Structure 1
Amino acid sequence: MSKVRNLRLITNKNLSFQQKLVFLNGYLYWWAFIRRLIYILAPILFAVFGIMVVDANFWVLLLFWLPSYYFLHLCMQDLSSDIRTQRWGEVQETIFAPFLFIPVLLQSIGIKETKFKVTNKAASQSKKDLLYIIPHAVLLALSIIGLIQFNTGKYGSEIFYGSVITFWLFTNIFNLTFSVLFFLGRPIYRKTERFLANNTIKMIYDNQEYNLYTKNISENGLSFAANEPLYFPENALLQFVVAKDDCTAHLEGKIVRVDSYTDEWIYGIQLEEIPEEEYLQYLQIIYDGFNRSLPQFRDPWETPFDRFFNNIQRRLNNVGKKAYVTEKFAKLRMNELIHLHDFDILLQSFSFEKLTIASSENLASVKEMTLNLHGVIFHLKLINQKDNASYEYRVENITELVETPELKRLVKNWVQQGGEIDDIGSNSYSH
């Protein structure tokens, strides 16, 4: 805005008419936020406080407002991309409007910030951030009050002639609700932003190499996918070679979580401190390219109101949910019945260091046991009783078992057959 004033836009003879239009458009862009505040406040003033902003009868108002709104919608539909629409532009203006009102006015009269402030790039949340919600929450409450108050006691033609105000209030409620949800935000689990990435990665541990690929990367971490469950001891330091085009970065990190799916295991890695030379290479890998985390297209059949109700529903579904418990080992979920000599057990899950079983027999007193599953001998120690019939045991000899061909074959069969395998070898139990 100050640039437009310094250029003396109207009287400057060194600028062509087209250039003046470009600068003028940039100048008017900032006033759009004040216009948005007027659009929000006008129906509130009328419906809640009885202050008339526009003095016109229904048909005159419709004559001027409806064609302009319709053709604006057509223009925005034609000019907008496959992602952004007029509705989301209004939501964006609504979010910023209360906080740009005073700065725009001050800039217009020559009062401006003299010190340049760098935007904080760290992804963080604070309870103080909820203070930003106050203007939108107040306006949302007033809009809802206005909608109820304006339509209470109206019937027939009164509702028809008041439909413009009702529509106006509904539109503002939609925009303000999304603004409130924006400031409420979503849980942030990382200090830096992560980006979807499908880069080749070589992982090295205990003199073994694994050729894998990344799922996402960030400055402080990455995640990679494996099509089979891999075992690494807790706090094991893994080495990575990440490559993209001509850039290669050598990194080290530890596993902080493992997400287990039917045919894929996603390992989340917290990176150790990276030397400057490698860090610059890694930054190039992260930021050189298209951000695939952003949406690429918009479903034309999904309306903004569909997203509105879906957003509300998802947030309500998350209320009261327990915090997600992260696993540090790949887990295989199964439902395999094992016939022992004295009784039967049901294998429920295996995560290398833990084996969860269910049994009709009371195993609470069985603190230690040796279980022979299809030729693999597990030395187990009871960790806890999960419920009346489910018990979690620690695999005491996993270090010796992990490289044996018998365990590899057993795990492979569990993976291929969804946790249920044919009866290969003997099953026995002792304690």
Structure 2
Amino acid sequence: MNPVESPKALLKSFLFKILNIRRCFNIKVLHSHYFYDIIEVSKTSTNSVIYGGSNTIISRKALEAIGRFYTKSITEDFATGMLIESAGFVSLGLSEPLASGIAPSSFREHVQQRTRWGCGVIATAKQLKFLRNRKLDMSQKLSYLSSVLYWFSPIKNLIYLLSPLMFAVFCIPIFKCTLVDLALFWLPMHLMTMWALRITSRGKISARWSGIYETSVMPFLLIPVIKETLGITLSTFKVTKKEAPSKKQMIDKRSLAPFVILLALTVAGIVRMSYMMVALEYIGILAVLFWLIRNAYYLVMCLFLGMGRDTDGENVKMLAAEMITVTKKDGRQIEGITTKLLEHGVDVYMDELDVLYLGEPIQLSILKNKYDLRVNGTVVSVHNSCNSDIPSVYTVEILDFNGQKDEYVQMLYDRKPTLPQRLRLGEGLFYSLWNNFARRIVIK
């Protein structure tokens, strides 16, 4: 059975954290989970699981059967998996994450990664001519065809953005229909698409967040995808950088330019259509106005994505409860429990009140299964509760691992990541917009 593909549980993704009213979630992480947990598993039924380059087990026999890894494409993993399946080996997609990884740490790196994937998949499809491959059955060909066609979605997204603008701003009608026509044909399709995506993804993504995600990369994927289709191949590429970003997020103004231009035109269209609806009392303009407002929302959120967020410099944060023992300088020992684990610190909750003070040196003992760790640190922050009867949470910076840093890092990563796995129902667009404005602009 080759290959066996397991989901990659992303540990962090600074770029695509979207703040909503209740908690942070990450559309980059959720899209990854949707692909590996749902799509890849379903492709097992047609023996067309896509080899994604990591978290995969492949036997030497399968590689030898196809002449080892395919090296004529920048997405050699995609090509190698297709060749293995066409050689008669059975693939399997698992839904349980067995390994973890990280995502690009900047908008530019994310775009470069997506461009490499898109151009590589299209180039591989042309090189291997999979539609003519008699060793692949029809279900496999259709499955791989859908994987290739996905990368042409920037064309679809551009049409969705420009169509209402052509009429609202430049007075060029793209299509003619009545509100009744829209209610009979477009509205059922729109509603069914939203419901189907929500149900089939098991709450991992929605049509709204998927639209934001795809719109954010559309301006940068469009030209490379068209060039690759026409035979202008992306011959060189850069390995995606995934190191932790600097605490102060650097804004790439060139990346924001397409969204600023499109948003300005969209706002102008909204103003013009609103005036026409009031002045002419023509309710039919509501359909155009709806799409303009929807596009404006997507573009504003894309601006937030491109702007990024400041971070605290920590590579990974794990929400984990581990029993610990705190030893004070006078030898007194206090039992506690962690609420968050970092590479260079921990958050500790204790049952007793006011047991630690800011700047106090302490020793932490973590005993878990095969781990017996003793590290030294200092209390750098005290998070007091609003209720004076509830103990505080203390942030401890680890200053000395006592030669056990490797063991500590192993303990930190030896668990499933705690990033949200599903969207919350009822998180409206106004909540996410307001929270982004408040946290990015008002608070600053």
TM-score by length of 1: 0.65
Structure 2 match to 1:192: 315
TM-superposed deviation, 1:223: 1.3
Structure 2 match to 1:104: 225
Kept in 2: contact 1:151–1:159 (CA 8 A): no
Higher mean alpha-carbon deviation, 18-27 vs 123-132, is at 123-132
Please point out which of 162, 168, 171 is paired with 2:285: 162
Please tell me the residue identity of whatever aligns with 2:321. Answer: N
Structure 2 match to 1:21: 142
**Distance in structure 2 (CA, Å) of the matches to 1:306 and 1:142:** 21
TM-superposed deviation, 1:123: 3.4
Find the residue that maps to 1:268 and give its secondary structure.
Answer: strand
Matched, 1:269 2:396: yes
Higher mean alpha-carbon deviation, 249-258 vs 151-160, is at 151-160
Please tell me the residue identity of whatever aligns with 1:218. Answer: L
Kept in 2: contact 1:203–1:238 (CA 8 A): yes
Kept in 2: contact 1:205–1:238 (CA 8 A): yes
**Distance in structure 1 (CA, Å) of the matches to 2:143 and 2:174:** 32
Structure 2 match to 1:86: 207
**Distance in structure 2 (CA, Å) of the matches to 1:3 and 1:188:** 38
Kept in 2: contact 1:123–1:193 (CA 8 A): no
Q: CA RMSD in A?
A: 2.9
> Where does the alignment leave 5 or more consecutive residues of structure 1 unmatched?
322-431
**Distance in structure 1 (CA, Å) of the matches to 2:193 and 2:422:** 24
Please tell me the residue identity of whatever aligns with 1:241. Answer: S
**Distance in structure 1 (CA, Å) of the matches to 2:257 and 2:368:** 45
Matched, 1:123 2:248: no
Structure 2 match to 1:396: none
Kept in 1: contact 2:358–2:380 (CA 8 A): no
Please tell me the residue identity of whatever aligns with 1:298. Answer: R
**Distance in structure 2 (CA, Å) of the matches to 1:11 and 1:37:** 31
Find the residue that maps to 1:92 and give its secondary structure.
Answer: helix
Kept in 2: contact 1:202–1:209 (CA 8 A): yes
Q: Deviations over 1:324-351 (max 9, x none)?
A: xxxxxxxxxxxxxxxxxxxxxxxxxxxx
**Distance in structure 1 (CA, Å) of the matches to 2:268 and 2:250:** 27
Q: Deviations over 1:47-67 (max 9, x none)?
A: 112233335566555554333
Please point out which of 424, 435, 439 is paired with 1:298: 424
TM-superposed deviation, 1:83: 4.3
Kept in 1: contact 2:350–2:392 (CA 8 A): yes
- Write the mapping of 1:9-408 to structure 2, written as runs, cut at 5 A: 9-54=130-175, 60=181, 63-108=184-229, 109-112=231-234, 114-124=236-246, 125-155=248-278, 159-206=282-329, 207-227=331-351, 228-232=353-357, 234=359, 236-261=360-385, 262=387, 263-272=390-399, 274=401, 278-294=404-420, 298-299=424-425, 302-312=426-436, 314-315=438-439, 319=442
Please tell me the residue identity of whatever aligns with 1:239. Answer: Q
TM-superposed deviation, 1:305: 2.7
Please tell me the residue identity of whatever aligns with 1:254. Answer: T
Matched, 1:3 2:128: no
Bigger Rg over Cα: 1
Q: Deviations over 1:23-48 (max 9, x none)?
A: 11221222223311221122122211
Kept in 2: contact 1:249–1:279 (CA 8 A): no
TM-superposed deviation, 1:172: 0.7
TM-superposed deviation, 1:171: 0.9
**Number of residue pairs aligned between Structure 1 and Structure 2:** 316
Q: Which has the higher contact order (CA 8 A, sep 6+)?
A: 2
- Structure with the largest fraction of strand: 1
**Distance in structure 1 (CA, Å) of the matches to 2:228 and 2:375:** 47
TM-superposed deviation, 1:216: 0.7
- Structure with the largest fraction of helix: 2
**Distance in structure 1 (CA, Å) of the matches to 2:298 and 2:358:** 50
> Per the alignment, do residues 256 and 246 of structure 1 end up closer, same or farther by CA in structure 2, a change over 3 Å counting?
same
> Per the alignment, do residues 279 and 131 of structure 1 end up closer, same or farther by CA in structure 2, a change over 3 Å counting?
farther
**Distance in structure 1 (CA, Å) of the matches to 2:365 and 2:218:** 46
TM-superposed deviation, 1:8: 1.0
Find the residue that maps to 1:154 and give its secondary structure.
Answer: helix
Find the residue that maps to 1:210 and give its secondary structure.
Answer: strand
Please tell me the residue identity of whatever aligns with 2:334. Answer: Y
**Distance in structure 2 (CA, Å) of the matches to 1:164 and 1:123:** 42
Kept in 2: contact 1:202–1:212 (CA 8 A): yes
Find the residue that maps to 1:127 and give its secondary structure.
Answer: coil
Kept in 2: contact 1:243–1:285 (CA 8 A): no
Kept in 2: contact 1:192–1:220 (CA 8 A): no
Q: Deviations over 1:276-299 (max 9, x none)?
A: x73332233222323334265623
> Per the alignment, do residues 253 and 6 of structure 1 end up closer, same or farther by CA in structure 2, a change over 3 Å counting?
farther
Find the residue that maps to 1:272 and give its secondary structure.
Answer: strand
Please tell me the residue identity of whatever aligns with 1:139. Answer: L
Find the residue that maps to 1:252 and give its secondary structure.
Answer: strand
> Per the alignment, do residues 101 and 297 of structure 1 end up closer, same or farther by CA in structure 2, a change over 3 Å counting?
closer
Kept in 2: contact 1:254–1:271 (CA 8 A): yes
Q: Deviations over 1:68-113 (max 9, x none)?
A: 2232223223213234221111111122222222332344335225
> Per the alignment, do residues 4 and 280 of structure 1 end up closer, same or farther by CA in structure 2, a change over 3 Å counting?
farther
Find the residue that maps to 1:139 and give its secondary structure.
Answer: helix
TM-score by length of 2: 0.63
**Distance in structure 1 (CA, Å) of the matches to 2:337 and 2:285:** 59
Identity percentage over the alignment?
24
Find the residue that maps to 1:119 and give its secondary structure.
Answer: coil
**Distance in structure 2 (CA, Å) of the matches to 1:273 and 1:110:** 54
TM-superposed deviation, 1:312: 4.9
**Distance in structure 2 (CA, Å) of the matches to 1:308 and 1:265:** 30
TM-superposed deviation, 1:166: 0.9
